Structure formats: structure tokens, C-alpha cells
Amino acid sequence: MFGLFKQKNNKQLDDVIIRVGSALHKQIKSAADKVNQANRKAVFKRMDDAVTAGYLFGYVQAAFAEFSLEEKEMDSCMRKVFDGIFPDEGYSYVMSKIDQLNNADDMGLNIKIEEVAINFGMGIDLGENDVVVNGGGLDVASSLFVYLTTGKIRGMD
């Protein structure tokens, strides 16, 4: 009998994983499709930076906040979403930015790391805000799209 609740929760998690991954993929694909060939290089460069990694991290965490997941479960959901967007590389990409921040003292690149930390934090705030503002309408979030296409962070213009 108790297994029924777990199955229901897993189904809900799977539904959110699909919705979140689709919403994020939509923003990224739309950004790549919108820009002309000359600006495409800038979009792909922004896709590989700390703001984007922070946005992805913050967006996914906020999207799953209602489930009160344990760290291991959240990690699994993040892996599924990120690897679904960027097959076999998404999770590693986001976590590499976090590892870079966690190992800042070892690297001796404090000024560069401080910039990465600020950008990652701005990205987290932007992603969390998109989830909160859109209140469950994850497919209407667009701050990542705006950042990728213009390099501007909403509310920081």
C-alpha cells in the first residue's frame, strides 16, 4: 500500500522532469534559431558560461521545490533534466561550474572565480525567478532566451 504513494510521486517527478527539460530546451533552441549566423557564435559562447549554468541550476531547483526532495533525489532529477537537454554532457557542464567554485582556493584564480561566482549567482536568481513568476507555467519562461540572444540579464539592464 505504501508503494502506491511512491509510484504516484515518481510519476509526478517524471512529469515535472519532462516539463522542465522541455521548457529549458525550448528557450535554448529558440535562441539558436532566432539569431543570424553572425551572432550565433555569441549565443553558443553564452550557453557555456556561468550565468547559463546558474540559470539551469536555479530553474531546476525551484521547479522541484514543492517536492521537498532529499539531495540524492534532487541530484537525480537534475541529471535527467540536464542530460536530456545536452545529452551526456548537461549534468557535467553545470556541476563543473559548481566544482570550479568549490575549489576556488585550490586554483588561485580568485578574481576570475569571483566573477564566475557572481555570474553563477545571478543565473540562479534569474532561473528561480522565472519559475516563481510563471507559477507553474514553465513553458512561458523566457529569461534564458533573452540572455542567450542579447547577453542582457532581465532586471539588470
pLDDT given at position 101: 77
The three grid cell numbers given for residue 32, joined into one nine-digit string: 539558436
Give Cα 91 to chain centroid, integer Å: 10
Structural domain range at position 21: 2-150
Average pLDDT value for residue range 3-18: 72
On whether the CB atoms of residues 34 and 148 are closer than 8 A, the answer is no
Structure pTM? 0.85
Residue 157 within any structural domain of the chain: no
Residue 145 within any structural domain of the chain: yes
Residue 156 within any structural domain of the chain: no
pLDDT given at position 3: 44
pLDDT given at position 100: 79
Is pLDDT above 90 for 125? Answer: yes
Residue 132 within any structural domain of the chain: yes
Residue 71 within any structural domain of the chain: yes
Q: Which of the pair, 87 or 7, is modelled with greater confidence?
A: 87
Residue 155 within any structural domain of the chain: no
Question: What are 52-99's pLDDT values in tens digits?
Answer: 999 999 999 999 998 989 999 999 999 999 999 989 888 998 898 888
- CA dihedral (83, 89, 90, 94) in degrees, to 10, reads 140
Q: How many domains does the chain have?
A: 1
Residue 28 within any structural domain of the chain: yes
Question: What are 93-120's pLDDT values in tens digits?
Answer: 889 888 877 776 555 556 677 788 889 9
Question: What are 22-41's pLDDT values in tens digits?
Answer: 999 999 999 989 988 778 88
pLDDT given at position 139: 62
